[in-house]
Every structure is written in structure tokens, then in C-alpha cells.
Amino acid sequence: MGYYANGIHTLHGRVLPIATGIKLANPELNVVAISGDGDALAIGGNHFIHTARRNVNITLIIIINNQIYGLTKGHFSPTSNRGFITGSSPYGAKELPIDPIVVALSAGAIFVARAFSGELSSLTEIIEKALKHKGFAVVGVLSPCVTYNKVNTYEWYRKKIEFLPESHDITDLKSAFSHAINHENKIILGIFYKKERPTYEEVILGSHNPCKEDLNCGKERVIEIIEELSK
Ligand SMILES: Cc1ncc(C[n+]2csc(CCOP(=O)(O)OP(=O)(O)O)c2C)c(N)n1
Ligand SMILES: [Mg+2]
């Protein structure tokens, strides 16, 4: 049996509401949401927090974090470091950056990991585990923008990255925070946190699958609904 995937390229910032809608319409689907740092944390920042609280099942968000708005030609993003000079911040970004991993842990995500696009074997392993995890899984992928971000380069990351120590307990939220937060000269990669809790679909739908329901929605019923709504 082969595998296939259907994709939707939706509005900037709205990947998680769309993914949530798909999952609630048919909970049997594996839903993967892919997002940039601006997408997930600026325009889509509210959705990020609420999807984590809700624990929408099997939705995975891979934040392609290049610490910049690449597509719009290099504006600073919520993950850009303070002082970062771009066309839209010629005197340096004034805000403190936010870290998607720390936000995800605070908002209740139950699988939270950080990876680096220059470390392919650990990135692949983390994505595989995130795909298999039941519940909202967040994988933040540090992915240098070679065109517009001349500060946070592959070399810059390579000097800083370290892997989580084996002593870290993946179910210990306090330890997850202490490793995930910004350290002066190191950035830690790995799966910080993994836990089980009921998913949004389980809570909302139980064993019901709207996609498999007979909606009793022939032409006559549609006309009736339109008439009801136009009153
Ligand atoms: C609704 C909407 N608002 C704003 C834009 C303009 N826009 C396009 S891409 C982008 C930022 C992209 O940044 P990020 O999500 O970090 O992705 P990257 O290009 O860096 O991979 C913005 C603001 C848009 N396309 N749609
Ligand atoms: Mg970006």
C-alpha cells in the first residue's frame, strides 16, 4: 500500500486554525502544519498559544526559524535578536526576541523539541518522533536564511549548539525550561518535553467522526437551511 499526502497552502499566519479544522472534520487524518517564525509567532502567535492549550492531536508544527521575515526580503521577526539591523530596523530591533520552544512549553504543548537544519540526522529523528506523538507536537527548527540573515549563519549556530544531556528527564517540565531557555553562549537541541494528555478532538468529539456522518444534507435540506438563515 502506498502513502499519499494532500496539501493546502493557506493564508499567512493561519496554518493552525486550518489544521485544527481539518483535524476536527476528520480525526483519522494525520495533519502536519509547517510554518515560519513570523508566521507562527507574529501574525499567528495567538493561534500558536491556543493550539498548544487545546492539544490538537497529531498536528505538528515545524517552525522554520530563520530569525527573519525572508519572503518579504529581510524584515526583523519576533525571533530576531535585539539590535538586529534590517531594512525595517536600521537602528537595530528594539524588542526582546521570543523563543518558540519556551512559549510552547508555557502554553501547554506536550511534545516540544528544538532541531537545527545543519544537523540532519537528529532533525530527522525528532520529526519522526513528533509525527508519531499523539497530541500537539512542536518542533522548532533553526534554519539559517542564507540570503538575508548574515548574522545567524550556519557557522554562528555551529559554534553554539549542544545536545541535551542524557540526564535530562523528558517528563520534567522544570528541567525542560532550564535547558530550553536562552543561554549566553549555547543553544541546546533535542526533545525537551513529552507527555500524554487528552486531545482536543477526544474532548470535543469523543468517538464521533463528522466526516463519516450522514449529514442528511440533500438539496432540499440545503434550501431549508438557507431559508432558515435568511429569516
Ligand atoms: C495576511 C498576510 N499578511 C502579511 C503578508 C506579508 N508576508 C508575506 S511573508 C511574511 C513574513 C514571512 O516570515 P516567516 O514566516 O518568518 O517566513 P520566511 O519567509 O522567513 O520563511 C509576511 C509578513 C501576507 N503574505 N499575508
Ligand atoms: Mg522567517
Residue-range domain boundaries for the chain? 15-205
Ligand 1, CB cutoff 6 Å, lining residues: 11-13, 36-39, 43, 64, 66, 68-72, 77
> What's the whole-number mean pLDDT along residues 183-208?
95
pLDDT at 58 over 80: no
Q: Which ligand is nearest to the CA of 65?
A: 2
Average pLDDT, the chain: 94
- pLDDT score for 49: 96
pLDDT at 59 over 80: no
Quick one: pLDDT band at residue 24, thresholds 50, 70, 90?
Answer: very high
Residue 85 in grid coordinates: 539591523
pLDDT at 207 over 70: yes
- pLDDT score for 1: 63
Cα(47)–Cα(212) distance, integer angstroms: 27
- CA of 14, closest atom in ligand 1: 1
How far, CA to CA in Å, does 137 sit from each of 1, 166, 193?
A: 27, 21, 10
Q: What fold, for 15-205?
A: Rossmann fold (3.40.50)
Cα(81)–Cα(38) distance, integer angstroms: 13
* CA–centroid distance, residue 28 to ligand 2 (Å): 31
Environment of ion ligand 2 (residues, CB < 5 A): 36-37, 66
